[in-house]
Structure 1
Amino acid sequence: MPRFSDTEKKMIRQKLMQEGERLFTSFGIKKVSIDEIVRAAGIAKGSFYSFYPSKEHLYMDIAGNLQTKMWREMDEFLDENRSLPPRELCRQCFLWMFQALKRYPMLKQADGETAEHLYRKLPREVIEAHTKDDSCELIRLQEYGVHFTCGIETAAKTLQTLAVSFLNLQQDDSSDQQAVMRIILDGVLKEIISDESD
């Protein structure tokens, strides 16, 4: 196993994430090989495994970082719209996030097929950690007066499923795409969010 200084580790991890994001965005997770990733990052294949056990782990690390960036951008949106009723705040927040995906093409291109691949290839604890990260963000929404009528983990999984559905709907160029998205979103939010403020 190669030995790297802390500075080298940081540089290699950054390069893996940068090149991984570029490749996953261009070709999708299933079509990108570890050989292509290490060639683009300029490291040996054995070195890759010092950082990640698989390309799916790298993908989840990149996706998690991109989501964190998007959530930090969302903080400003929430502050500006905190006077909205809780359900409407969540509705607008979800629509804002879906629009924000344009700045994160790797996240935007993820769909049901990508999710299915990750669920099949990654250990359960990696998927659960991702759900926990989403749950933490939903807990933050409670600071804005949002009350969930179900458990936070259930709400997180429901909204993850909704997000994948929305990403799948992108493939539909029909004129009613936005209407379908709003109907589904409104129905889900009515079920999981109380419209009562603090």
Structure 2
Amino acid sequence: MPRFSNMEREKIREKLMQEGERLFTSFGLKKVSIDEIVQAAGIAKGSFYSFYTNKEHLYMDISGNLQQKMWREMDEFLNEHRTLPPRELCKQCFLWMFHQLERYPMLKQVDNETAEHLYRKLPPEVLAAHTRDDSHELIKLEEYGIHFTCGIDIATKTLQTLAVSLLNLQQDQTGDRQIIMEIILDGVLKEIVSDESN
């Protein structure tokens, strides 16, 4: 197992994230190989495994990083719209995130096939860490008066499933996409978000 200083580890990890995002965005998760990733990053294949168990693990790390950026940007949106009723604020928040995906092409490409592939290939602890990160972000929504009626774990998994379903709608080139998204969001949020802020 190669030994790296902390600075070397950080630089290699940064390069893997950068090149991984570029390759995954260009070719999709399934068509990119570890050999292509390490060649682009300029590291040995053995070094890759000092950081990640497989390419799906790298993909999930990149996705998580992009989602964190989006969540940070969402704080400004939430502050500007905090006077909306809680359920409507949550809905507008989701719609805002989906419109922001234009800036995050790798996230925009996620569909059922990609999600199923990740669930098959990723170690359970990586999936659990991703769910914990999402739960942490949902807990922060409570600062804006959004309260989940079903518990944060159920809300997180429900909204993760919803997100993948809404991403699949991107294939719909008709003008109905926005209407369908809003109908689905209204139905789900009615079940899991209290419309009272206290």
TM-score normalized by the length of structure 2: 0.98
- Offset, 1:183: 0.4
Distance in 1 of aligned mates of 2:27 and 2:63: 15
**Deviation digits for residues 128-178 of structure 1, max 9, x if unmatched?**
111111111111111111111101111111111111011111011122121
Aligned to 1:175: 175
CA RMSD of aligned residues (A): 0.8
How many residues matched? Answer: 198
Distance in 1 of aligned mates of 2:7 and 2:125: 29
Aligned to 1:140: 140
Distance in 1 of aligned mates of 2:177 and 2:72: 28
Distance in 2 of aligned mates of 1:146 and 1:106: 28
Equivalent residue letter for 1:19: E
Distance in 2 of aligned mates of 1:174 and 1:192: 29
Distance in 2 of aligned mates of 1:6 and 1:125: 24
**Deviation digits for residues 23-53 of structure 1, max 9, x if unmatched?**
0111111110000000000111111111111
- Are positions 1:69 and 2:48 aligned together? no
SS at 2:171's partner residue?
coil
- Are positions 1:23 and 2:32 aligned together? no
Aligned to 1:85: 85
Aligned to 1:35: 35
Q: After TM superposition, what 4+ stretches of structure 1 lie above 6 angstroms from structure 2?
A: none
- Are positions 1:2 and 2:2 aligned together? yes
SS at 2:73's partner residue?
helix
Aligned to 2:126: 126
Q: Which runs of 5+ in 1 are unaligned?
A: none
Equivalent residue letter for 1:189: L
Distance in 1 of aligned mates of 2:10 and 2:27: 25
